[in-house]
Amino acid sequence: MVDTVFLALSVLTIGSAIVALEIRSLIYGSIALMITLSGIAGFFLLLDAPFVAMFQLSVYVGSIAVLILFTVMLVRRELIFNKIEDKRRRYAGIGLMLALMLGIGMIIIGSGMKSMETNSPTVDYKKIGADFLTYYSPALIVMALILASSVVGALTLARREDITNDQRAD
């Protein structure tokens, strides 16, 4: 059985995900996305994974959501509130969403996952840290390189060629 905290968290997460896609203003949408991501962090806490939860809070809520907010602010005002979409496409999308939910949900409910409960001890986050520095250290280095190259790539993409140094205001 589920408890109240789980129920409240799932309502918050799913509800704000729908709000993020459906509300008119992109700014409120990104704030709703922030709430969704925080809800996922709450699920991680319920799953006894505090390290992943804090990572989620700092990376997703702290950096990605703020990045999205800043990008939204760079866009013209009419476009933020603009909401063009095809009516038929929208109904087809809702049908697809419900079909996916019902289909995969039925498969999962029919499977043997229902009886799976656990009393095993939680994973210590010290073990995760030790794993990162021993077994997964090559992967960690590759991930750092990917992050650095993606940041450099993003800066190169977003750079404006048409502004030279003597035109700057400062």
Specify burial of residue 70 (Cβ count, 10 A radius: 0-12, 13-18, 19+). exposed
Which one of residues 8, 28, 73, 92 is an interface residue with other proteins (CB under 8 A)? 92
Which one of residues 8, 73, 96, 141 is an interface residue with other proteins (CB under 8 A)? 96
Closest among 30, 38, 51, 52 to 8, alpha carbons compared = 38
Does 38 bind other proteins (CB under 8 A)? Our answer is no
Q: Which is nearer to other proteins, 117 or 170 (CB)?
A: 117
Which one of residues 47, 73, 137, 141 is an interface residue with other proteins (CB under 8 A)? 47
Q: Hunting for tokens 């280095």 — which residue is that?
A: 141
Count, residues in the chain: 170
Q: Which is nearer to other proteins, 120 or 165 (CB)?
A: 120
DSSP state of 150: H
Does 35 bind other proteins (CB under 8 A)? Our answer is no
Question: Total residues contacting other proteins (rule CB under 8 A)?
Answer: 87
Write the binding mask 124 to 163 for other proteins: x where contact by CB under 8 A, - elsewhere.
---xx--xx---x--x---x--xx--xx-xxx-xx-x---
Closest among 27, 16, 19 to 82, alpha carbons compared = 27
Q: Tell me how far, at minimum, the Cβ of 123 lies from other proteins, in Å.
A: 4
Q: Which is nearer to other proteins, 110 or 170 (CB)?
A: 110
Neighbours of 53 (CB within 10 A): 19
Q: Tell me how far, at minimum, the Cβ of 38 lies from other proteins, in Å.
A: 11
Write the binding mask 50 to 79 for other proteins: x where contact by CB under 8 A, - elsewhere.
-xx--xx--xx--xx--xx--xx-xxx--x
DSSP for 96-142, written as a single string = HHHHHHHHHHHHHHHSGGGG----SPPPPHHHHHHHHHTTTHHHHHH
DSSP state of 101: H
Does 101 bind other proteins (CB under 8 A)? Our answer is yes
